[in-house]
Structure 1
Amino acid sequence: MIWQELAHSYRHHVLDQGKQPLMLLLVGFIGSFLFIRFSVRMIRRGVRWWPGNITPGGLHIHHAVFGLGFLLAGGFGTFATGGAHLNVFGLLFGIGCGLVLDEFALILHLEDVYWSEQGRKSVDAVIIGILITGLMLTGYVPLGVVPGGSTRWGLSAVLSVNALMSVITLLKGKLWTGLLGTIVPGLSWVGAARLGRPHSPWARWRYRRRPRRMARAVRRERRLHRRADRARTWLFDLIAGAPDKVAPHHTATRRVAERMAARVTAHLDAADARGPARRTDRAPGARLPHPVVTVRRDLSAARRRTITAGRPRRSHRPRPTPCRPDPEEA
């Protein structure tokens, strides 16, 4: 009974609407992404029963190269046949989309960041692509209303406002709220009314001269978004695998760099606060501590701590002094 209802729904919403090529594109998209993620996780674990990377002559060929081949085959085949075999070429195009977007971070950064924190952008790109394809397949109409008659202008105004609120929400750094707001209009309005995230473009444009609002945004980021990011990280680890952990010396170097930047900024702010009028009040030979000297001291100290972290501690016992003959006895 359930299979008959599913078949009837598929026939009514997909076949009769002429959306089977788009449906096969979505199936190829999701299937290729799940397959390649399973493959790279097996390769990462080093299991013997799964083939490894393709490295002819020592050259590692990424799966984005094969994805480009599928994309070209699907696109060229569609134009060459005049759309006669859309089902086959739609499936090929979807497979190419999954393979290419899975390495979106590598293409963006032009370096192999697949198993780093930056590689999470690939998962974001894949989810966004699947969401957009799903909306196109379902033929979603916002608010569930078909424009016509007297409701056309009112619905157009509501959709325009909703689009504006979604853009503002995205500028505030709330990616998923802005994307889901295109489906649920009230959600994007709530996201646009709330504070933006501290590292978003909206915060850089609007909160730079409002320290209180920036402080509120930072507190909210620490309190609320940390939990959401934790749940998002758990979900992405489940789907795509956990990224590599940063080495301890890299973490120490990053902390030193942050401390150096903060100290240089404080030095420059103090110099600007004194102004040219106070410079004449200083002694002739007095100088402010140069930030570069302080930076070099911190960096050298961090390097010494990193180098000597794994060495055994030396003994500080005094060395025995050799006995010398007394000149009077001689």
Structure 2
Amino acid sequence: MQIAGLVEGYREHIVLAHKQPLFLLLVGFITSFVLIRFSVRMIRAQVRWWPGNITPGGLHIHHMVFGVGCLLVSGIGVFATDGGHPWIDWFGLLFGIGCGLVLDEFALILHLEDVYWSEQGRKSVDAVILGILVTALLLTGYVPLGLVPGQSSSESSGGRWGLVAVISFNALMSVVALLKGKLWTGLLGIMVPGLSWIGAVRLARPSSPWARWRYADRPRRRARAVRRERLLHARADRARTWIFDLIAGAPDKVPAHHTATHRVAEKMAARATAHLDARTARHAERGSHQRRRTVRAGRARSYRTRGPRRRNP
């Protein structure tokens, strides 16, 4: 009976509501992300029975390459088949698979280097979770700002201009929340009005651009932001880090003193190189002056011993 109820609910809320392509997209998205994370964690653990990386001729092919291929095939396929059934369902599934493979290496695309197992690699998990949440909201029938498809602007509560004003204000609050370092609040606030407003009126995080611009001459506010960062955001970040480590694996641990030593060594090497270049330039200039003085002295001795040169008549 439960299986029959699930089938009937799927038919009523997904198939008859014309949401099956979006549902298959979400299924492909989640499935590809889970499988590829399982694969890379097996490769990282050097499990013998797992196939490992794809390296033809020594070239490491990242899985985002296959994801881009899935996105291209599904996108072109939808246009080629004019979005007809059942092709749009299969292409929706393929598009979701491509999204999972590409966004799992979003940090590599952003930094243009292999930061998969570093702290910067957590941005890939942020991108995947955000994409899944937005797709799930659309699948459940949620429309940003409460808009109903097919409803005219005159039938809305505030009218057309009121709706434009609310959308503009919400976008402004989302930008302010992002500038204050509230990534999740700002991004989800685009879909859910009110979240970005809360993030916009609260204190900015100390490392955010807003804090650098606005709190430089306000020591009390900056001190409050630092205190809140230590008390509240630090706990939230630890919980978020634990969840992300559980989902995607912990990044490589790089000792802080090693990083600091490496930076100091880079600065010292840069200074030594600059000093060496300046010293070489000074030596070259001195050598040039010495050569010119030697040439002048030679010409003077030649003039005193031989006299001036006579021109041929």
Name 2:93's counterpart in structure 1: 91
- Map of 1:54 onto structure 2: 54
Deviation at 1:159, TM superposition (A): 5.1
- Give the counterpart letter for 1:81 in structure 2: T
**Which residue is 2:41 aligned to?**
41
User: TM-score, normalised on structure 2?
Assistant: 0.75
Q: Distance in 2 between matches of 1:76 and 1:158?
A: 36
Give distance in 2, aligned partners of 1:48 and 1:144.
52
Q: How does 1:47-126 map to 2 (within 5 A)?
A: 47-84=47-84, 85-126=87-128
Deviation of 1:55 (Å): 0.9
In structure 2, the CA distance between the partners of 1:143 and 1:2, relative to structure 1 (3 Å rule), is farther
Once residues 141 and 61 of structure 1 are traced to their aligned partners in structure 2, the CA distance between those partners, rounded to angstroms, is 38
The 1:9/1:167 distance shift into structure 2, 3 A limit, reads farther
Answering whether residue 9 of structure 2 is matched by residue 9 of structure 1, we say: yes
The answer (yes or no) to whether the contact 1:142–1:159 under 8 Å persists in 2 is no
Alignment of 1:272-291 (within 5 A): none
Q: Counterpart of 2:7 in structure 1: which amino acid?
A: A
CA deviations on 1:259-307 (whole Å, 9 max, x unpaired) are x9xxxxxxxxxxxxxxxxxxxxxxxxxxxxxxx79xx9xxxxxxxxxxx
RMSD, matched Cα? 2.8
* In structure 2, distance between residues paired with 1:4 and 1:223: 50
Residues 175-194 of structure 1 correspond to what in structure 2 (within 5 A)?
Answer: 175-182=183-190, 184-194=192-202
Q: Which residue of 1 aligns with 2:19?
A: 19
The 2-side partners of 1:202 and 1:5 are apart by 51
**Could you tell me how far apart the structure 2 residues matched to 1:30 and 1:150 are?**
35
| Structure 1 residues 162-181: aligned runs within 5 Å | 162-181=170-189
Matched, 1:246 2:248: no
The size of the alignment, in residue pairs, is: 263
Higher mean C-alpha deviation, range 20-29 or range 163-172: 163-172
Matched, 1:137 2:145: no
Q: By how many angstroms is 1:118 displaced? A: 0.6
Alignment of 1:200 onto 2:202: no
Question: Which of 126, 145, 155 is residue 149 of structure 1 equivalent to?
Answer: 155
- With over 3 angstroms needed to count, the CA separation of the structure-2 counterparts of 1:184 and 1:93, relative to structure 1, is closer
SS in 1 for 2:238: helix
Shift of 1:142: 4.8
Point out the more displaced range, 233-242 or 67-76: 67-76
| Structure 2 unaligned residues grouped into runs of 5+ | 276-313
Instruction: Label 1:184 to 1:57 Cα distance change in 2 as closer, same or farther (>3 A).
Output: closer
Residue 230 of structure 1: how far off its partner (Å): 0.2
Q: Could you give the per-residue CA deviations for residues 60-98 of structure 1, whole angstroms, max 9, x where no partner exists?
A: 111111111111111121122222311111111111111
Deviates more, 1:115-124 or 1:66-75: 66-75
Which amino acid letter does the alignment assign opposite residue 98 of structure 1? G
Deviation, structure 1 residue 165: 2.6
- How much identity, in percent, do the aligned residues show? 74
Q: For residues 212 and 57 of structure 2, what CA distance do their matches in structure 1 show?
A: 48
1:32–1:99: 8 Å Cα contact kept in structure 2?
A: yes
Deviates more, 1:91-100 or 1:159-168: 159-168
Local SS of the residue matching 1:18: coil
Structure with more helix by fraction: 2
Shift of 1:59: 1.2
Q: TM-score, normalised by structure 1?
A: 0.71
User: Higher Cα Rg: structure 1 or 2?
Assistant: 2
AA of the residue aligned to 1:220: R
**CA drift at 1:38:** 0.2
- Per-residue deviation, residues 112-131 of structure 1 (Å, max 9, x unmatched): 11000010011111111112
Distance in 1 separating the partners of 2:37 and 2:219: 43
